[in-house]
Chain A
């Protein structure tokens, strides 16, 4: 029998018992959709937590903790295998004040190597990188930190600077936390570039980025104002290494640890989290499979009834020369068809449910918490990746075929003579 004729044959049978087959498909659909939606919550929450963990850092980032990071050490780190960049951001660990056209602010100064920064994420929105002394780049939200000390707006909020930034000059002063007065000396700085906005829109970058050329001046002011000053206390190093890709984060970290560095990378934590979620998702899929198994009882029933009902027809088929194998295949195809249609509808349905859940649940949760600002609640409850669709389809169609197996075997065992003897 040709495959096309086999399909026709199966479809003809299904059409004859529409309601029964429909109910069976419905059960299969519900079981499979239950599995997909249930497991999708595992995927959704994992994704949300992962996003949360990675929101402030790159996944290839490795923090290096070390008291004294001198230039040769940094250079040494850059030479290591699989290291894309080493960014050494040095911040000034004392009180700082900026001033510009009557506005004042407390933005802090970061001394960094723009060459290394550019290899990772740092980019300019406007302007250029510093080339001369006293030139700096400011963060995208720098102006928000400049406040007019004398005025308040209609709502009683401080008035912030909203004029031009590029090419403007501002003063940078600093002093000790324990003194009221700042040091007399001012460093005039010119804004030559504005950094790109951080990828997360709730992060406001108000920093001042300068290169190493500013350091001698700062140190000199510090020393001249503070008796028995330790210059090493002035700058605080924050060294971050970046592996060239995710797979190498581990090896780079391990190598660093072996050489006595104290390092931290998120990949260990992600690995632990992934294991946890793998177990969770497997558990959810297992529970969902039970729903499919329950639905399979329906398929078993339907197919058993179909075989019983068609005993005489099967007998005639065998009498005129249909092989037992063909009979078995026709019935297996019928149960597989139920499984396939049920799975297909379930997939479509699950995407719909998942979409609606992601739309409605944040609103419900927010109102339950009495929170008005929905924007800050960026939680994904349900994600259906193709792997989940594949797993669910395989489980569902396999279960459908297994439950159709016995009825199909039964059909092949039908005795021709007995079947032909049945009354019409």
Chain B
């Protein structure tokens, strides 16, 4: 489903005139199959987030090709990239990234609004997902009135609302306690099974990594497949 070839990226750091090129990704090639949960692990600063940002189109790679379902997304401009994200990707972030001014309901609804879906259909889909993630009770609350676990469920619901084939998750349980972490991981696994959604999960936590079908390790700017894992 996702095919990456010779992906390289480096950052310029330091003062202007004295800047230094720091290579972060050094010619990665890998692929991710449809319906997989893939986790990418690695030490802090190894470039995991950078890889995800490039896959998601937030960042343009220096060189390399990304193809998703045979569409070359690495050549998209900003507008094309945004349009593609809206239709094909969902995102789960470590610090949830909910809109503070919107209620739970409105947060989940937002991607549908951006897609121009009619209000009636929106309401129905949001209710469905509220039920799925178990937040029907708090739908009119604001994010800062919820626990971390609840907030992450809101962001999962928001990621699911457009029925994307791929969901990217950057440290999805990084801000949660271990019990809540388990809840969220179970939710991800069941969504993967019931809906066939492909998950790309970035983590530095082995228990999280082990929920995946496949683990990649980032090391020294390179990605090494760490073998299959079948925790459950």
Please give the residue numbers on chain A whose beta carbons come within 8 Å of chain B beta carbons, in ascending order.
1-2, 5, 9, 12-13, 16, 312-313, 315-326, 416-417, 420, 424
Contact = CB atoms under 8 A, between A and B. Distances in A.
Interface of B: 53, 56, 58-59, 78-79, 82-87, 89, 91, 93, 95, 97-102, 110-111, 113-116, 118, 158
Contacts of A2: 113, 116, 118
A303 to B, nearest CB: 17
9 contacts: A2-B113, A9-B113, A312-B97, A318-B82, A319-B97, A320-B111, A321-B111, A326-B114, A424-B95
Contacts, number: 68
Q: Which 3 A-B pairs have the closest CB atoms?
A: A321-B86, A321-B85, A416-B58
Given A312-B97, A315-B97, A324-B78, 11 more contacts: A1-B113, A2-B113, A2-B116, A5-B113, A9-B113, A313-B101, A317-B114, A318-B82, A319-B91, A325-B79, A424-B100
B82 A1 contact: no
B97 A322 contact: no
A320 B85 contact: yes
Contact of A319 (B58, B87, B116): B58
Given A319-B58, A321-B87, A12 B101 contact: yes
Given A320-B85, A321-B86, A321-B87, A417 B116 contact: no
Which interface residue of B83, B97, B101 has the most chain A CB atoms within 10 A? B97
A16 B110 CA distance: 18
A148 B65 CA distance: 115
Contacts of A9: 113
B114 A320 contact: yes
Contacts of A312: 97
B45 to A, nearest CB: 14
A5 B93 CA distance: 25
Contacts of A313: 99-101
A167 to B, nearest CB: 82
A417 B59 contact: yes
B85 A420 contact: no
A266 B85 CA distance: 72
A191 B33 CA distance: 113
Chain A contact residues: helix, strand, loop or mixed: helix
Instruction: Tell which of A319, A321, A324, A416 has the most Cβ of chain B within 10 Å.
Output: A321
A323 to B, nearest CB: 4
Nearest to A12: B101
Nearest to B144: A424
A5 B115 CA distance: 11
A274 B199 CA distance: 75
Given A321-B83, A323-B83, A417-B59, A316 B78 contact: no
A416 B97 CA distance: 12
Given A16-B101, A417-B59, A322 B78 contact: no
B130 to A, nearest CB: 18
Contacts of B86: 320-322
A20 to B, nearest CB: 15
A168 B20 CA distance: 115
B114 A321 contact: yes
A95 to B, nearest CB: 91
B79 A323 contact: yes
A316 B99 contact: yes
B91 A324 contact: no
> Most A CB atoms within 10 A — which of B56, B59, B79, B110?
B110
A4 to B, nearest CB: 8
Which one of B89, B95, B114, B116 has the greatest number of beta carbons of chain A within 10 Å?
B114
Contacts of A317: 110, 114
B95 A320 contact: no
A420 B83 contact: no
A122 to B, nearest CB: 69
Contacts of B78: 323-324
A320 B99 contact: no
Contact of B53 (A16, A323, A326, A417): A417
B109 to A, nearest CB: 10
A420 B49 CA distance: 12
Contacts of B102: 12
B72 to A, nearest CB: 19
A420 B113 contact: no
A1 B115 CA distance: 6
A2 B95 CA distance: 29
B232 to A, nearest CB: 29
A323 B81 CA distance: 8
Nearest to A418: B58
A321 B82 contact: yes
A320 B83 contact: no
A317 B99 CA distance: 9
Contact of B58 (A5, A12, A324, A417): A417
Contact of B97 (A12, A13, A326, A420): A420
A326 B78 CA distance: 12
